[in-house]
């Protein structure tokens, strides 16, 4: 018998790819989204990618427990994949109460209903940003490293929900895989699904491509005096399809665990790219110069964040497969369509 999964914010970038991967692996996906930063066109693109397999969608805000409960009454869920999140560092510094209210209350409402209906299995979309920043002479983060001292409210909400889930493992016998992301980007190879937010993008690559397609005038580069290869901040980037493969492996791993557990995995590609290097790489793919402008630093940004992905490799047999150039070409294919 196939398992039934609830996916929050499925029309968002990562959630839509999760729907495709898990549906193609014969899981039934039920999806909720409040459509605050996307639209129903993504639903049609998911159907195209799935060769018109139907998926169940409900427009629901997680702040509304009444309608969330109605969905749980209708389905016998086995698992939840929780992607619902406001996630812009700079915006969280400007609007901290918005982030505390939405990110925390969304999650608490979901966990409360899960507990009521005895749905105790969850994969949580966390972040590498929960780690305590280290001196650059000692930056290799692993799952045993110290957390907290987050530099902005967005990161603080991730840390808080991780700890709530730890408590629910002990107090309510939840089984949790806690996945700490490092900059997922790029598109599905079919060219129908990609990160294409309604608002101005908070992430680098969709921002660059909106400049490429003249939706935006120029890429804003927030300062160039960091202690990095070219003065702009450096991140590790992972293809979103590789990322979702990691979710699938995490799901199958936790299916074989029969006791409450809180398991943490880092996801890392060993692919360090600065802001300026990414702009130049996209310029090569699209065969034209991408205009940019150097601005002042934003609050909450760090120069570099690196981690050790050995645990994911050893336990889940997971490694990223998609080269940077291929991922960029897939993204350009989306915009061409």
Of the two residues 29 and 319, the one the predictor is more confident about is: 29
Q: How confident is the model at residue 127 (pLDDT cuts 50, 70, 90)?
A: confident
Using only C-alpha atoms, what is the Rg of the chain?
Answer: 19
Q: Which residue out of 99, 131, 154, 251 is catalytically annotated? A: 154
154 has catalytic annotation? yes
| Per-residue pLDDT tens over the stretch 145-202 | 556 567 788 888 998 999 999 999 999 999 999 998 777 776 555 555 655 555 566 6
Question: Once rounded to an integer, what is the mean pLDDT over residues 99-114?
Answer: 95
Domain definitions of the chain by residue range = 4-183+237-269
Question: What confidence tens digit (pLDDT) does each residue in 70-85 have?
Answer: 999 999 999 999 988 8
What is the spatial distance between Cα 160 and Cα 104, in angstroms, rounded to a whole number? 8
Mean pLDDT, range 246-253, rounded to an integer: 90
User: Which tokens belong to 81?
Assistant: 């994949």
| CATH superfamily, domain at 4-183+237-269 | NAD(P)-binding Rossmann-like Domain (3.40.50.720)
Q: Which of 9-18, 28-37, 71-80, 144-153 has the highest mean predicted lDDT (pLDDT)?
A: 71-80
Task: Compute how many other C-beta atoms are within 10 angstroms of the C-beta atom of residue 93.
Answer: 17
- The highest-confidence range among 37-51, 53-67, 321-335, by mean pLDDT, is 53-67
Question: Which tokens is 268 given?
Answer: 């890392």
Q: Which of 23-27, 208-212, 282-286 has the highest mean pLDDT?
A: 282-286
Give residue 135's pLDDT.
43
pLDDT value of position 275: 94
């Amino acid at each position: 018998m196939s398992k039934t999964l609830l996916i929050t914010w499925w029309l968002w970038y990562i959630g839509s790819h999760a729907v495709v991967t898990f549906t193609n692996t014969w899981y039934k996906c039920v999806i909720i989204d409040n459509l605050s930063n996307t639209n129903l066109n993504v639903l049609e693109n998911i159907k195209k990618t799935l060769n018109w397999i139907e998926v169940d969608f409900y427009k629901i805000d997680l702040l509304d427990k009444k309608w969330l409960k109605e969905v749980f009454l209708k389905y016998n869920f086995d698992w939840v994949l929780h992607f619902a999140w406001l996630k812009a560092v700079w915006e969280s510094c400007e609007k901290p109460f918005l982030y505390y209210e939405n990110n925390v209350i969304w999650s608490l409402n979901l966990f409360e209903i899960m507990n009521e209906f005895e749905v105790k299995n969850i994969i949580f979309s966390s972040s590498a940003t929960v780690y305590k920043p280290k001196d650059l002479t000692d930056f290799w983060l692993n799952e045993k490293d110290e957390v907290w001292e987050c530099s902005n409210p967005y990161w603080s909400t991730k840390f808080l929900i991780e700890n709530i889930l730890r408590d629910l493992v002990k107090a309510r016998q939840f089984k949790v895989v806690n996945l700490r992301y490092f900059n997922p980007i790029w598109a599905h190879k079919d060219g129908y699904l990609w990160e294409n937010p309604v608002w101005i993008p908070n992430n680098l690559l969709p921002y660059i491509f909106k400049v490429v397609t003249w939706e935006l005038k120029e890429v804003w580069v927030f300062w160039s005096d960091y202690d990095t290869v070219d003065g702009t901040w450096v991140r590790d980037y992972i293809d979103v399809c590789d990322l979702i493969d990691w979710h699938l492996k995490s799901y199958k791993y936790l299916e074989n665990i029969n006791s409450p557990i809180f398991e943490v995995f880092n996801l890392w590609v060993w692919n360090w790219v600065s802001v300026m290097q990414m702009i130049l790489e996209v310029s090569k793919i699209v065969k034209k110069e991408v205009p940019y402008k150097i601005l002042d630093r934003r609050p909450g940004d760090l120069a570099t964040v690196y981690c050790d992905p050995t645990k994911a490799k050893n336990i889940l047999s997971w490694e990223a497969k998609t080269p940077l150039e291929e991922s960029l070409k897939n993204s350009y294919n989306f915009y061409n369509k």
